[in-house]
């Protein structure tokens, strides 16, 4: 069900009017639904029940402490790609023993922090990373548990910027080189091989690419174990898509069960399986509220100029991504017009939606849908714009989970030259 719905012509987040949220907290404003986050996570958790499977939420999709805390309270593990994300997980109530550390460029300092914290596993993406991790583990007197991220060269037919499993991508170890890489890894004194990892991309709306990658992975596991190297877990990554417009991603439970059944059918059900959802547990659990500053008619285009911008939501400018945009107040007494919804940033690329049919007036509120993933997490201070506030709605209660920045905070760490 949608937790952002109209009640008497006014958009609500759970039991709270979006109008009241904007009046109390200002705009632009990210609004998250605790019920939506919980429902999306439990779809994975319930499908994993009864299997040797666990869920590790991808922090990069939405790293707000309030959001991560919701997942931590539900018993989630986490997938991180930086030392900063590890610090966020721990601050939000997550446990290091439930953290998988991914990413192509881990620094020695990040490795050290993760080893001392006691993370569950490192997903290693290159031979040089194996060398560095082994050296760091020796320095701190620990043994690093690792899996290798294998690049299966499977095309998920998604946007090229978020496709990660092809030969041309920077991620992972080439499939043809993976068996030898495992032999190399097993020879390091301060590394312990425990699993295998694969992540082919993001916003994938079909199960078939996952199955193609999984079949190659399962074949490889058999070869690796024939070399005397035990594989205890299979990390199938994340990337399941959501509905932004007309996409029809598979049901989460069906997706999870299909992969688990294929693993079990291949006689490998004794291994633990990791799922790493990000967008699919946060994307449709958030909206971005923005206010119309001006309606500007043009010779070729009409523009609705709003107070949110590409610094708040980079996906349209970066990926040409579509986000549904709806008026907070339904106006049935006036005709719609076609608008490009744009922000005040000094870039032609500062657009949030093109050719949208809207019945709006200056001062009206718009809700940009599906803004719970890769929205605030990718936001910036371009044009010296303070980043938006974030709030969590829980039924009829509202909690500020990140205060709005002030301009002075943006340059508090800067200084002018001495006289």
Is 93 labeled as ligand-binding? no
Q: How far apart are CA 49 and CA 261, in angstroms?
A: 13
Does the annotation list 315 as a binding residue? yes
- The pLDDT of residue 162: 41
The CA distance from 306 to 364, in Å, is 9
My answer on whether omega of the bond before 28 falls inside 30° of 0, hence cis, is yes
pLDDT digits (tens, 9 = 90+) for 312-334: 999 999 999 999 999 999 999 99
278 marked among binding-site residues: yes
| Residue (of 166, 142, 141, 137) closest to 153 by Cα position | 166
Q: Tell whether the model's pLDDT for residue 8 goes beyond 50.
A: yes
In the numeric block, which tokens belong to residue 373? 């993933």
CA 107 to chain centre: 22
Range 377-390 average pLDDT: 98
Asked if 85 contacts 64 with a C-beta cutoff of 8 angstroms, the reply is: no
What was the pLDDT predicted at 157? Answer: 57
C-beta of residue 399 within 8 angstroms of C-beta of residue 69: no
Assign 298 a pLDDT band (cuts: 50, 70, 90): confident
The whole-number pLDDT of residue 171 equals 76
Residue where the block lists tokens 């002030």: 406
Q: What is the largest CA-CA distance in the chain?
A: 74
In the numeric block, which tokens belong to residue 191? 């590394």
Residues 6 or more apart whose Cβ sits within 8 Å of residue 372: 32, 36, 37, 61, 62, 67, 282, 283, 284, 285, 286, 287
CA–CA distance, 298 with 365 (Å, rounded to integer): 22
DSSP 264-315: HHTT-TTSEEEE--SHHHHGGGEEEEEEEEEEE--SS--EEEES--TTT--H
Q: Is 374 helix (H, G, I), strand (E, B) or coil?
A: coil
Is 165 one of the annotated binding-site residues?
no
What span, in angstroms and rounded, lies between the C-alpha atoms of 328 and 368?
10
Answer yes or no: is 44 a known binding residue. no
112 labeled part of a ligand binding site: no
**Pairwise CA distance, residues 207 & 222, whole Å:** 23
* Residue 107 near residue 135, CB atoms below 8 Å: no
* C-alpha to C-alpha distances, 226 to 38, 179, 222, 230, 266, nearest whole angstrom: 41, 10, 6, 9, 16
What pLDDT, on the 0 to 100 scale, is given for residue 189?
A: 98
Kindly report the backbone phi and psi dihedral angles of residue 222, in degrees, each rounded to the nearest multiple of 5, phi listed first.
-60, -40
Give per-residue pLDDT as tens, 336-348: 999 999 999 999 9
pLDDT at 156: 60
pTM of the model: 0.95
Annotated catalytic residue: which of 48, 121, 198, 346?
346
| pLDDT tens-place string over residues 69-101 | 999 999 999 999 999 999 999 999 999 999 999
Residue with tokens 């119309």: 292
Residue-wise pLDDT for 46-69, tens only, equals 999 999 999 999 999 999 999 999
The answer to whether 343 is a known ligand-binding residue is no
Cis check for the bond before 72: say yes or no (omega within 30 of 0): no
Residue 159 has pLDDT above 90, yes or no: no
**H-helix or E-strand spanning residue 166:** none
Q: Compute the average pLDDT of residues 396-402.
A: 98
Asked if residues 169 and 125 have their Cβ atoms less than 8 Å apart, the reply is: no
Known active-site residue 346:
yes
DSSP category for residue 101? E
Contact 100, 235 (CB under 8 A): yes
Q: Is position 237 annotated in a ligand binding site?
A: no
Q: Which SS3 state, helix, strand or coil, does residue 9 take?
A: coil
Give the pLDDT confidence of 110-123 residue by residue, as tens digits. Answer: 999 999 999 999 99
Q: How many CB atoms lie under 10 A from the CB of residue 363?
A: 10
What is the CB-side half-sphere exposure of residue 364 using CA atoms within 13 A?
Answer: 20
Q: Is 277 annotated as a binding residue?
A: yes
Round to whole Å and give the CA distance between 280 and 397.
24
pLDDT confidence of residue 170: 65
Domains, the chain, in order of start with CATH, read 4-32+283-410 (2.40.37.10), 34-281 (3.20.20.10)
φ, ψ of residue 188 to 5 degrees: the values are -75, 135
């Amino acid at each position: 069900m949608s937790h952002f719905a109209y009640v008497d012509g006014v958009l609500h987040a759970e039991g709270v009017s979006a109008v009241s949220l904007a009046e109390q907290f200002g705009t632009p404003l990210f609004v998250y639904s605790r019920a939506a986050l919980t429902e999306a996570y439990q779809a994975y958790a319930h499908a994993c029940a009864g299997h040797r499977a666990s869920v590790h939420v991808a922090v990069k999709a939405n790293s707000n402490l309030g959001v991560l805390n919701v997942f931590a309270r539900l018993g989630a593990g986490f997938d991180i790609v930086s030392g900063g994300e590890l610090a966020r997980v721990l601050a939000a109530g997550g446990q290091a023993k439930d953290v998988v550390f991914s990413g192509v460029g881990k620094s020695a300092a990040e490795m050290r922090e993760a080893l001392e914290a006691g993370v569950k596993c490192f997903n290693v993406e290159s031979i040089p990373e194996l060398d560095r991790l082994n050296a760091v583990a020796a320095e701190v007197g620990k043994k690093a548990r690792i899996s290798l991220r294998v690049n299966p060269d499977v095309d998920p037919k998604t946007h090229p910027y978020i496709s990660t499993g092809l030969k041309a991508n920077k991620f992972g170890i080439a499939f043809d080189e993976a068996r030898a890489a495992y032999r190399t890894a097993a020879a390091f004194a301060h590394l312990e091989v425990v699993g295998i990892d694969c992540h082919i991309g993001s916003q994938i709306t079909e199960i078939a690419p996952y199955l193609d990658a999984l079949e190659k992975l399962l074949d490889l596991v058999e070869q690796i174990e024939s070399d005397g190297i035990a594989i205890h877990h299979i990390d199938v990554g994340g990337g399941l898509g959501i509905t932004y417009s007309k996409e029809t991603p598979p049901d989460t439970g069906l997706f999870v069960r299909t992969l688990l059944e294929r693993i079990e059918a291949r006689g490998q059900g004794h291994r633990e399986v990791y799922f790493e959802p990000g967008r699919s547990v946060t994307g449709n659990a958030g909206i971005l509220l923005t206010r119309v500053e001006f309606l500007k008619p043009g010779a070729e285009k009409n523009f609705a100029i709003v107070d949110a911008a590409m610094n708040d939501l980079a996906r349209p400018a970066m990926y040409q991504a579509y986000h549904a945009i709806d008026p907070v107040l339904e106006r049935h007494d006036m005709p719609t017009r076609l608008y490009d919804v744009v922000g005040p940033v000094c870039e032609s690329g500062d657009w949030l939606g093109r050719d949208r049919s809207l019945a709006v007036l200056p001062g009206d509120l718009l809700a940009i849908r599906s803004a719970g993933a890769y929205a605030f997490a990718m936001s910036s201070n371009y044009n010296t714009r303070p980043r938006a506030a974030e709030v969590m709605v829980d039924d009829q209660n509202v909690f500020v989970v990140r205060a709005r920045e002030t301009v002075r905070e943006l340059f508090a760490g800067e200084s002018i030259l001495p006289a």
